[in-house]
Amino acid sequence: MVRYMDENSSILEKPPYSMASEAEFITRLRSLISRPLWVRFTMNKSSVLSVKKTPGRGLEVRLQHAFRAADEKTLHALAAYIQDGDPDSGVCLDAFLKENQGLFHLLVRKSSPRALEYKGRHHNLAHLLAEVARVHGLCVEGIRIGWASVTKSSVKRSSIRLGSWSAVFRIVRVHPVLDSPAVPDFFVEYVIYHEVLHSLCPVRCREGRTRRIHTESFRKMERQFYRCLEAVEFERSFVRSFLG
């Protein structure tokens, strides 16, 4: 079995949070504000929201990532607060902060991610990420990439995790087993493409239902990979050979 993972899947399981992607959230927020808006997401613990009015540039806002879980009511309150400093909206935002303390706590930066090595013996992940962005017209600004650190095990494998996505640190990691001359560039690109899609397609979870990381829209975009059929076929043969 092959696994593609969202490293932060566990933090969204209970309660059933549904977080919009950064791009989706910013688009929705901008639609509610008449002035130019620039948003930067943070993992701060104390300063979760700050607004700076800059002449000639508009509004510069710093938001803790947890705001991406805001419902429509909270989003409208956030827009009103950012644009006019509306005191009534502040009450709504305080309620959102109180109800989602767990999420805010989980999205606080506890430590900086270690340095990433993207140059392999046979594949340069930075170059492949850039190629994926070029071919598919994806925005990968702020996304980092590197080879994952794995430990050897004497236990026979039943699955392999070829790639992972960290929503908090915006990092794609690729299993070093793919740094082989036997693995074509297009397949490594397929793994990278899959992980980048996690930044574009938010996790969906409704109360009483199983949370979905790979939604219908995610799978539809995944099938648009420029050599999807070849990549799926290679994956089958590679995993079968690797797992024995």
Q: What is the reported pLDDT for 176?
A: 95
The answer to whether 66 and 48 have CB atoms below 8 angstroms apart is yes
Q: What is the reported pLDDT for 243?
A: 73
Q: What is the reported pLDDT for 232?
A: 95
Q: What is the reported pLDDT for 170?
A: 83
Compute the radius of gyration of the chain from its Cα atoms. 20
Q: What is the reported pLDDT for 7?
A: 53
Q: What is the reported pLDDT for 55?
A: 76
Q: Is the pTM of this model over 0.85?
A: no
Question: What's 36's DSSP letter?
Answer: -
Q: What is the reported pLDDT for 215?
A: 83
Name which of 46, 44, 39 is nearest 61 in CA terms.
39
Name which of 196, 177, 150 is nearest 238 in CA terms.
177
Q: What is the reported pLDDT for 105?
A: 78
Question: What's 169's DSSP letter?
Answer: T
The answer to whether 190 and 228 have CB atoms below 8 angstroms apart is yes
Q: What is the reported pLDDT for 202?
A: 64
pLDDT along the chain (244 residues), means of 10: 52 54 91 91 84 83 91 93 84 88 76 76 97 95 90 65 84 94 97 92 55 80 96 92 76
| Topology adopted by domain 2-11+113-243 | Zincin-like (3.30.2010)
Distance separating alpha carbons of residues 66 and 19, to the nearest angstrom = 8
Q: What is the reported pLDDT for 212?
A: 64
For the record, the structure tokens of 22 come out as: 């950064």
